[in-house]
Homo-oligomer: A and B are copies of this chain.
Amino acid sequence: MATLHNKFCNFTSMDMLSIDHILKRNQLSVTDSRKKILELFKEHNGALAHNDIEKKTGEKFDRVTIYRTLQTFVEKGIIHTIPTPDNSVRYALCKDECSKGHHHDNHVHFVCDICNVTYCLDSVVTPEVNLPQGFKPSLIDVVVTGRCKNC
C-alpha cells in the first residue's frame, strides 16, 4: 500500500480514496473544501464545532462554505450533530449505516469539562426512557458531561 507524503497530509492513499468514495457514494461532487473538512473529521478523534473547522482550515475557505458543507454532510448522513450543555453545536462522523435523512447514531456522547473534547461513545447505547402517557419519542439525545479518560 503506497503512502502519500506531502507536508499537508499524512493520510495513506487508502484514506484519500475513502474520502473521495464517501463523497461520490452520496452523489456529492468532490471539491477541495469537502475533502478537507472530511479529512479533518477523519484525523480528529472526536467532535468538531464550526469554529474548530474554521481555525483548522486557516483562511482557506469561506465561512459560508463551511456552514453549507456541514449542512450538506448532515443531510446526507455523513456527520451527525451533538447538542451540548453550553449550546454550541458539534459535529461528528456517522457510522456507515447512516444515510440521507436517516441517522442511526444511537450512542451516548461525552463532553469533557476539562479538555473540552467531545466523544462519541459508540459502545454505549442510548438507554430506554419510559415516557408518560401520550409522548411519542422519535429521537433520544444523551449527553454526559464530566472528566474524560485522558484528564
Contact = CB atoms under 8 A, between A and B. Distances in A.
Copies of this chain: 2
Contacts of A129: 108, 124, 127, 142, 144
Interface in A83-128: 83-85, 87-89, 108, 110, 113, 119, 121, 123-124, 127-128
A99 B130 CA distance: 28
Interface residues of A, number: 38
Contacts of A121: 131-132, 135
Contacts of A141: 83, 85, 141-145
A133 B119 CA distance: 13
Interface of A: 81, 83-85, 87-89, 108, 110, 113, 119, 121, 123-124, 127-150
18 contacts: A81-B87, A83-B83, A83-B143, A110-B135, A113-B138, A119-B135, A121-B132, A121-B135, A127-B127, A131-B144, A132-B149, A135-B144, A135-B146, A136-B147, A139-B144, A139-B145, A140-B143, A141-B143
